[in-house]
Structure 1
Amino acid sequence: MSILVVNAGSSTVKLGVFDFETLECTARGLLDWAGSKSQATLTLWPQKTEPVRRQIEAPNYRVAVVKALEMLQECLGLWEDSQCGQASAARFRVVGHRLIHGGEEIRRPVLIDERIKEVIRRYRHLAPLHIPAGLEAVSAVEAALPAVPQVGLFDTAFFADIPPAAFLYPVPYEWYTHWGIRRFGFHGTSHAYCTERAAEMLARPLVGLRLVICHLGQGSSATAVRDGVAITNTMGFTPLEGFMMGTRSGTVDPGILLHVLRDKGLSVAELDEILHHRSGLLGISGVSSDFRQVEAAARQGHARAQLALDMYAYRVRAMVGALAVTLGGLDALVFTGGIGENSVWLRGEVCRGLECLGLHLDGSRNASAAPDTDIATAESPVRVLVIHTREDYLIAREARRVVQQQAGQLSAS
């Protein structure tokens, strides 16, 4: 029996297959539209077998995911046949989804039913790039695997215990009581995994451990964690707040937004498009939203590319300092995500100036770092960890726990 993990984004769907008993990953998949609206590429990587790549013709997102799941099951059956020497259908005991927004209602992993789907729909306008994709993926799994239970892990759930002083905005209190406007926080699945992994690497219990975790990728956020519990996250009511990102602006003066709406003739729709898709690294550099391409342009002397990098690092460094003060000190700084795990320059630039917190980076360790590793000097009171985030593993583990718990309750009754 296996666990299927689905991580649905606006232009890609990541798939993972895990053994139900051992939680070992046996296969991975990626469904990628790559700019096409009618065709997607499905790539499957089984363990110890050559990858399989197929083109999928599909009129919409849901149909593409259904076809991808059908092909995945077909390939899993073939791989099992070749390894076992006998016919064996690929069976999924449970499907786990990474979902973005569960509001205040969903505080832990849950079985997905109509009530849960209605909660997700309620917040779809707050994360328009991600929530509709997640709902389509749930619908696709229902079509392809109708008898298999589905479990949702919500990014917002890791931040369920953030105190009111941190989650409320300084606007009329009725905005919260009437409209639900508050800080939620995102990338919770990644931050939760890195919290556990950091404690393992440091050989310390979660109690008493103070972490700042920087998940840096196309979307980026940082979380302050004390005793294994999130204290705050740099994203807010939506994933638009916080760090400068690939195409998202991050935090800007609200007065600027009022100014361009009122005095410069921008419509709300135009401003929405600019803040989500034409800002961040892309907006400043004019080169790309891809950090690697901006780094390459900067090395070639592109001034705006270098400016974009400097702005990005400055904002991350400033927020690390602020979060460390919120925690009353720091035991470890964690870098994760595509940029955090791979950019030597960014890690070095963020850590430069943090010596005042007791953090001392080892330049040679940083230059040769491969996750999971500690890149602080031997004498540094504060450790610097590079961790490969494994959201899919955490989703698989928690999905298994939910169905096992349900089975236990049924047997008890």
Structure 2
Amino acid sequence: MSQSLILVINCGSSSLKFGLFPVGAEEPTLSGLAECLGDADSRVVFKADGKKSTLAIAGGAHDQALEAVIEHIRARGELDSVVAVGHRVVHGGERFHASALITPEVETAIEACAALAPLHNPANLLGIRVVRACLPALPQVAVFDTAFHQTMPRAAYLYALPMKLYRDHGVRRYGFHGTSHRFVAEAAVAELGLDAADHGIVIAHLGNGASAAAIKNGASVDTTMGMTPLEGLVMGTRSGDVDPGSLAYIGEKLGLDLAGIDKLLNKESGLLGLSELSNDCRTLEEAAAEGHEGSIVALEVFAHRLARHIGGLATSLDRLDAVVFTGGIGENSDKLRAMTLAKLSAFGIEVDAEANARCTRGTAGVISRGNGPKAMVINTNEEFVIACDTAELAGITG
């Protein structure tokens, strides 16, 4: 009898990531990306057995892309082994504290959260509905980015705004990257041999989107992202924290309305805006090494802001056992890790330069020495978490 498989889907506004996981396996047998959906050069890239193949679906939308993925799985002889489908859903509001088996009621609740994530939840729902149309007999599970952070206390999630905005409109801090933070938190406890019921960790998930979170005894007690993924750290094209009072000034000087300011903060700021060169950390590190001033400044601001937030998040813990780096930048930029940790010497963290340089391109481990809090790199695996939650909620054991 063939092994049961879980199909994991991350449906974005113009792309669709997928992976096919044997139950309990951390790596997929098949993965890929459908990109530029709706455009003339829409395509699906499949990855399996160390090889890539590309299928053009000119002008194809999400339904055509997902149908192409399903047909590819069928051609591999694996479709009959797919027993459930798990979806990344960005926003679960206060309704969802954990992953959920998708029912009509759950789907309605996800749709109700769309106002909090208008660019993400509608696309997530589209993926759910296309799967239902193509594979109506299979159970589906929603895994929410925000769910892990629902353990934050009100002192961490409330804004100092009129309370009626929270009561009537849900204006509060929700946090994101929860699936990654959850995976990394559990891995850190296991790898460092910490007491699962008595520990304190700060995790920095760093990529084009970036957030840090304070984890106390396995639960999120604070994080840097807020009501939207814009708050907090410097990111690829997002500004992170900005004085709200400056926005009226910027709008007046540049003649921008709210939509224009939103575009400025989300698409034109961050590493791209500071460097005036790129939002790609690798490009900036290469340019900085050659003396490009904008790149040097961008990396300095990124590290300074990150260290400041890590220090602030530590105040939500009883003690700091470890600082953990993950995500594309966190797992691969030994330069930014070293720059950040150098600013955290007050916590007793001492970087091991050789170990830090070694932890790139899939190599993880402890990058500090001495008796202070550990610094380490852990490779995140959000898709594995989605697959595990899907199998559990669908009642699949293998």
TM-score normalised over the length of structure 1: 0.90
Alpha carbons of 1:263 and 1:57: their partners in 2 closer, same or farther (altered >3 Å)?
closer
d(CA) in 1 for partners of 2:40, 2:391: 34
C-alpha contact (below 8 Å) 1:340/1:347 kept by paired residues: yes
In structure 2, the partner of 1:13 is: 16
C-alpha contact (below 8 Å) 1:40/1:58 kept by paired residues: yes
Structure 1 window deviating more from structure 2 (143-152 vs 127-136): it is 127-136
C-alpha contact (below 8 Å) 2:38/2:60 kept by paired residues: no
C-alpha contact (below 8 Å) 2:232/2:241 kept by paired residues: yes
Structure 1 window deviating more from structure 2 (24-33 vs 159-168): it is 24-33
SS in 1 for 2:29: strand
d(CA) in 2 for partners of 1:224, 1:49: 36
In structure 2, the partner of 1:380 is: 371
- The superposition leaves residues 223-242 of structure 1 with CA deviations (integer Å, 9 ceiling, x where unpaired) of 00000000011000111111
Letter in 2 for 1:235: M
- What pairs up with 1:45-60 in 2 under 5 angstroms? 45-46=47-48, 48=49, 50-60=51-61
d(CA) in 2 for partners of 1:372, 1:205: 21
d(CA) in 2 for partners of 1:177, 1:385: 40
Q: Does 1:298 align with 2:299?
A: no
Letter in 2 for 1:401: E
C-alpha contact (below 8 Å) 2:34/2:65 kept by paired residues: no
Following TM superposition, by how much is the alpha carbon of 1:64 offset from its aligned partner in structure 2, in angstroms?
2.1
In structure 2, the partner of 1:44 is: 46
In structure 2, the partner of 1:403 is: 394
Following TM superposition, by how much is the alpha carbon of 1:52 offset from its aligned partner in structure 2, in angstroms?
2.8
Following TM superposition, by how much is the alpha carbon of 1:262 offset from its aligned partner in structure 2, in angstroms?
4.7
- The superposition leaves residues 11-46 of structure 1 with CA deviations (integer Å, 9 ceiling, x where unpaired) of 4322111113x4353423222425972333322222
d(CA) in 2 for partners of 1:205, 1:325: 20
- What pairs up with 1:5-404 in 2 under 5 angstroms? 5-20=8-23, 22-33=24-35, 37-46=39-48, 48=49, 50-74=51-75, 76-77=76-77, 89-262=79-252, 264-370=254-360, 371-377=363-369, 379-404=370-395
C-alpha contact (below 8 Å) 1:58/1:64 kept by paired residues: no
d(CA) in 2 for partners of 1:26, 1:158: 24
C-alpha contact (below 8 Å) 1:38/1:60 kept by paired residues: no
Alpha carbons of 1:205 and 1:387: their partners in 2 closer, same or farther (altered >3 Å)?
same
Letter in 1 for 2:9: V
Following TM superposition, by how much is the alpha carbon of 1:211 offset from its aligned partner in structure 2, in angstroms?
0.3
SS in 1 for 2:122: helix
Following TM superposition, by how much is the alpha carbon of 1:269 offset from its aligned partner in structure 2, in angstroms?
1.3
Shift >4 Å, 4+ stretches = none
Following TM superposition, by how much is the alpha carbon of 1:176 offset from its aligned partner in structure 2, in angstroms?
0.8
Structure 1: 5+ residue runs without aligned partners? 81-88, 408-413
C-alpha contact (below 8 Å) 1:29/1:42 kept by paired residues: no
Letter in 1 for 2:367: I
SS in 2 for 1:189: helix
d(CA) in 1 for partners of 2:158, 2:50: 50
In structure 2, the partner of 1:3 is: 6
- The superposition leaves residues 47-81 of structure 1 with CA deviations (integer Å, 9 ceiling, x where unpaired) of x463333222244233223322322332x31xx6x
Letter in 2 for 1:193: F
Following TM superposition, by how much is the alpha carbon of 1:309 offset from its aligned partner in structure 2, in angstroms?
0.9
SS in 1 for 2:314: helix
Alpha carbons of 1:304 and 1:225: their partners in 2 closer, same or farther (altered >3 Å)?
same
Letter in 2 for 1:161: T
Structure 2: 5+ residue runs without aligned partners? none
